[in-house]
Chain A
């Protein structure tokens, strides 16, 4: 089985977000970058599937050179080789187009990624990739097993879950608890250094461009209500905040 795992390189979820250059660029100073948390689940499940029944894992990042530590980490966790499409990942369609181009070349049985990236949160790249390739896509997948060329999955739906199966090839957006995040061991880190990482140019054109970034307005002070007069809160929510 050939698995393609797509990873994003994003600021750590605890990062404080700020901007530079007249609010036209993300301020990367002091920001720790990580593999997208959902992508990390997809990678972990791919490694488990490889350990269980054998597979080769290619990790793919659409991004600039500063994503390479995250790609090396994915190789250390258990991917066999890596591809980086050397371009800024501006919009969902553009990124999906790059992934689909790589996928067409590689003929993968399974294309895994996170349900969304934690920076732009659109959650549509897997669907666009599936459509371009003409194969089904499902998201968010919480459980995944492969038996005889058929994927057995549990998918979260609004207010519940759905158990379904579909023949490979598939594109899946993953989320917990599909697998536990894996921490690379020393041997993995050593071998990752020499695993192949191919850098290729992008094709197509970006469909969006960001003009300017901004931060939400500062929140006003919090109005405190004494615990022994808790019922007053309901009156305030009704008369002052007008949400009840």
Chain B
């Protein structure tokens, strides 16, 4: 009943969400009396990967084939399946992300595994294998009994609060054979925002809606995000109007976020938008309309002009730091 955690690397280090997944895996392993192996694919120093031990992994399998440098879900899934077979894993855990979804899906196809997405709690192992997952984009939860031999759990951000152990994991090179037919797709161009905080990973998010009045008025929001080192996001109308790039769109049909703090500026709070942010720990709403429905879902609210409020907040954040 070993546990394998699919671990993502960004800029040579394990992603924070993956460290959470490793910690979650360690909690499950403790219940099952087994250990956690992390599978890391891509370029990273062993010293960075050994940090997985601090979060409860005893071993890291490192697949560092040059062919794996560009994420490829088919090839990554092949590596994951081989790692599952090698470690005898019955439970595969990952932090939910678009890459992890694609990779675990393909692996599940081979392993005939149930995939449970958006898991929000540790499993209940008292009678079978039961997990609680968020459904309807956070509008409800389902307690699901998983009966497949191999199980894949994709956990939401902030489900566990890791306590670091100070241990280091052993790091082993992992080099499964990769057939040429895994690489039939040709990536001709990658456009990636650099130097900004990744939205799905972010602990703090500042988001703007139509109340921001136009793309040329975004600076005060960007200034606050900058001062907080927060990611920026937007509502669906804003991305539909091309005021902001599509990958910033948060909501039922966009990115789902669960940061510690979500600050909504000039967003009225349509039910579809709330669905994408309702698992945030703390929600702040700034809107000039006191009747905006978003206030009902908020922890803190300011009724006022965003263009007057935002600079005050930015100044206060700078003073705090």
User: Are B305 and A227 in touch, CB under 8 angstroms?
Assistant: yes
Nearest CB on A from B211, distance (A): 14
A119 to B116, CA, bound (A): 13
Q: A161-B191, A214-B141 are in contact. Are A222 and B285 (CB under 8 A)?
A: yes
* Smallest CB gap from B142: residue in A: A210
> Restricting to B239-278, which residues have a CB under 8 Å from any CB of A?
246-247, 252-253, 256, 260-261, 271-272, 275, 278
- Any A CB within 8 A of the CB of B73: yes
Query: Per-position contact with A for B127-138: 1 when CB-CB < 8 Å, else 0?
Result: 000100011111
Contact among A92, A163, A177, A211 for B145, CB-based, below 8 A: A211
Q: A96-B109, A121-B135, A231-B312 are in contact. Are A142 and B199 (CB under 8 A)?
A: no
The stretch among B34-42, B160-168, B296-304 that forms the contact with chain A is B296-304
User: Are A137 and B193 in touch, CB under 8 angstroms?
Assistant: no
- Any A CB within 8 A of the CB of B313: yes
Q: Chain A contacts of B203 at CB under 8 A?
A: 243
Nearest CB on B from A154, distance (A): 9
Q: Chain A contacts of B308 at CB under 8 A?
A: 227, 230
- Any A CB within 8 A of the CB of B140: yes
What is the count of residue pairs linking A and B with beta-carbon distances less than 8 angstroms? 281
* Smallest CB gap from B227: residue in A: A234
Q: A13-B272, A219-B296, A237-B284 are in contact. Are A118 and B253 (CB under 8 A)?
A: yes
- Any A CB within 8 A of the CB of B105: yes
A30 to B185, CA, bound (A): 45
A209 to B295, CA, bound (A): 36
Query: Per-position contact with B for A139-161: 1 when CB-CB < 8 Å, else 0?
Result: 11010000000000000111111
User: Are A222 and B136 in touch, CB under 8 angstroms?
Assistant: no
Nearest CB on B from A93, distance (A): 6
- Any B CB within 8 A of the CB of A89: no
Chain A residues within 8 Å of chain B by Cβ, number: 78
- Any B CB within 8 A of the CB of A29: no
Chain B residues within 8 Å of chain A by Cβ, number: 93
User: Are A127 and B109 in touch, CB under 8 angstroms?
Assistant: yes
Judged by DSSP, the binding face of B is mixed
* Smallest CB gap from B77: residue in A: A131
- Any B CB within 8 A of the CB of A78: no
Q: Chain A contacts of B169 at CB under 8 A?
A: none
* Smallest CB gap from B130: residue in A: A211
Contact among B101, B145, B185 for A209, CB-based, below 8 A: B145
User: Are B302 and A92 in touch, CB under 8 angstroms?
Assistant: no
Query: Per-position contact with A for B172-193: 1 when CB-CB < 8 Å, else 0?
Result: 0000000000001111111111
Q: A124-B108, A140-B98, A244-B317 are in contact. Are A93 and B115 (CB under 8 A)?
A: yes
Q: Chain A contacts of B201 at CB under 8 A?
A: 158
A214 to B74, CA, bound (A): 36
Q: Chain B contacts of A207 at CB under 8 A?
A: 112-114, 146-148
Q: A91-B114, A131-B110 are in contact. Are A124 and B144 (CB under 8 A)?
A: no
A193 to B281, CA, bound (A): 49
User: Are A119 and B114 in touch, CB under 8 angstroms?
Assistant: no
Contact among A118, A126, A226 for B136, CB-based, below 8 A: A118
Query: Given A19-B140, A158-B200, A159-B199, 15 other A-B contacts at CB below 8 A?
Result: A11-B136, A37-B252, A127-B106, A131-B110, A132-B109, A156-B247, A159-B247, A161-B190, A166-B186, A167-B184, A210-B143, A219-B296, A227-B302, A227-B305, A241-B299
Give 10 A-B contacts (CB < 8 Å), ordered by A residue. A93-B114, A118-B252, A123-B105, A158-B198, A158-B247, A213-B143, A215-B141, A222-B296, A222-B299, A237-B284
Chain A interface residues (CB < 8 Å from chain B):
11, 13-14, 17, 19, 37-38, 91-93, 96, 118-132, 136-140, 142, 156-167, 175-177, 206-216, 219-220, 222-228, 230-231, 233-238, 241, 243-244
